[in-house]
Chain A
């Protein structure tokens, strides 16, 4: 392992390096932070697989399940679809922010980070409203039935991840406005972005599995 000096170090997949002031790289030429982020995401894959796997197995083990064609089906699909759209938008604004920072467009990068934070916060807010409506109006609670416990476990843990991502994005936004990022110093945005895109990816799967299937 060698320590980089901020001018010539690891590269991002055969292209330009995500330069850091005090980053370090492995012999592979990849920043330690990127390796660590991907290892963390690998553990997250297994975590959500446990939840999704339990959901699928429990569902196959049941003869009856929440019926989407029934009049009293509790889930609000249009609202959740709009929320899914918001999360996709947040991933796009984050890609835009990173690209802007890499190209030295600081203001655009800061706005991209701010919009990502905003979209993420609205997502969490809409999910909180959804939970309120399910609890109060639909009477659907985690202890109502297996569907309820699966639903709250899966969407709740995902929501917690989004909330933590929003906090991280808010910190990055403040750092951005303070001028902490630039064309040669954007690794924190890229690494946090990997986490954010992963959370978006998990939601794409959860939306299909929990809400549409």
Chain B
């Protein structure tokens, strides 16, 4: 493999990019493995650290492999806008989820384990479902 690859008339440091992706992936896995064994930091800190390793990998693929660095502005807009819309959508829903009180979150759990808790027949299933819906509504009422 040649040392450099070309995107249009632009040459990419292909080996450097490959090694960077490899190193970031290895760092992620090693960090995760150490955390599972020792849990030396809180879980939220692990998530932040993994994001620190993951987002540069995603950026490398978008900017270099997908040629965004060398594309016209309209292509960059086409590529970036969905990502902002997507991120904004998730954050908006996430904010709503985080406003739920623990009681309401537990009720979501109950709905999630519906088959296990209430799935004892047709009649029971229907009853259980109705209960879950009512509880969910109550949870939202409490939350707001």
Q: Which residues of A contact B (CB under 8 A)?
A: 11-18, 28-30, 34-35, 38-39, 41-43, 45-46, 49, 52-53, 56-58, 60-64, 68-69, 77-78, 81, 84-85, 88-89, 91-93, 95-96, 98-100, 102-103, 143, 145-146, 193-194, 197-198, 200-201, 204-205, 207-208, 212-213
9 A-B pairs closest in CB distance? A15-B8, A49-B86, A15-B9, A13-B71, A12-B8, A45-B82, A61-B108, A99-B5, A42-B82
Q: Are A38 and B65 in contact (CB under 8 A)?
A: no
A18 nearest in chain B by CB position: B8
The answer for the CA separation of A11 and B25 in the assembled complex, in Å, is 34
In the complex, besides A15-B70, A99-B7, A99-B14, 18 extra interface pairs with C-beta distance below 8 angstroms are A13-B72, A15-B8, A29-B72, A34-B75, A35-B74, A42-B81, A46-B86, A53-B90, A53-B93, A61-B100, A61-B109, A77-B32, A78-B29, A95-B65, A96-B1, A145-B113, A205-B54, A212-B32
| Residue B112 is within 8 A (CB to CB) of chain A in the complex | yes
Can you list 7 A-B contacts with CB-CB less than 8 angstroms, sorted by A residue number?
A: A12-B8, A30-B75, A56-B90, A68-B32, A81-B28, A85-B25, A91-B61
Q: Are B14 and A201 in contact (CB under 8 A)?
A: no
Q: Which residues of B contact A (CB under 8 A)?
A: 1-2, 4-10, 12, 14, 17-18, 21-22, 25-26, 28-29, 32-33, 36, 39, 46-47, 50-51, 53-54, 57-58, 61-62, 65-67, 70-72, 74-75, 78-79, 81-83, 85-87, 89-90, 93-94, 97-98, 100, 102, 105-106, 108-109, 112-113, 115
Residues of chain A contacted by B86 (CB below 8 angstroms):
45-46, 49, 53
Residues of chain B contacted by A197 (CB below 8 angstroms):
61, 65-66
Indicate which residue in B17, B36, B62, B97 contacts A68 across the interface (CB closer than 8 Å). B36
B1 nearest in chain A by CB position: A96
Give the most central of A17, A35, A91: most B CB within 10 Å.
A91
The answer for the CA separation of A41 and B78 in the assembled complex, in Å, is 9
Residues of chain B contacted by A92 (CB below 8 angstroms):
1, 14, 17-18, 21
* Given contact pairs A69-B36, A204-B61, A62 touches B72 in the complex (Cβ within 8 A): no
Interface of B is mostly: helix
Q: Are B61 and A201 in contact (CB under 8 A)?
A: yes
B102 nearest in chain A by CB position: A63
Interface of A is mostly: helix
Residues of chain A contacted by B108 (CB below 8 angstroms):
58, 61-62
Residues of chain A contacted by B7 (CB below 8 angstroms):
12-13, 15, 95, 98-99
The answer for the CA separation of A34 and B25 in the assembled complex, in Å, is 30
Indicate which residue in B32, B54, B62, B67 contacts A12 across the interface (CB closer than 8 Å). B67
The answer for the CA separation of A81 and B33 in the assembled complex, in Å, is 11
Residues of chain B contacted by A57 (CB below 8 angstroms):
90, 93-94, 97
Give the most central of B83, B85, B93, B112: most A CB within 10 Å.
B112
Indicate which residue in A13, A95, A96, A205 contacts B58 across the interface (CB closer than 8 Å). A205
Q: Are B9 and A16 in contact (CB under 8 A)?
A: yes
Q: Are A204 and B112 in contact (CB under 8 A)?
A: no
Shortest A144–chain B CB gap in Å is 9
The answer for the CA separation of A92 and B14 in the assembled complex, in Å, is 7
Residues of chain B contacted by A43 (CB below 8 angstroms):
82
Q: Are A45 and B83 in contact (CB under 8 A)?
A: yes
Q: Are B36 and A99 in contact (CB under 8 A)?
A: no
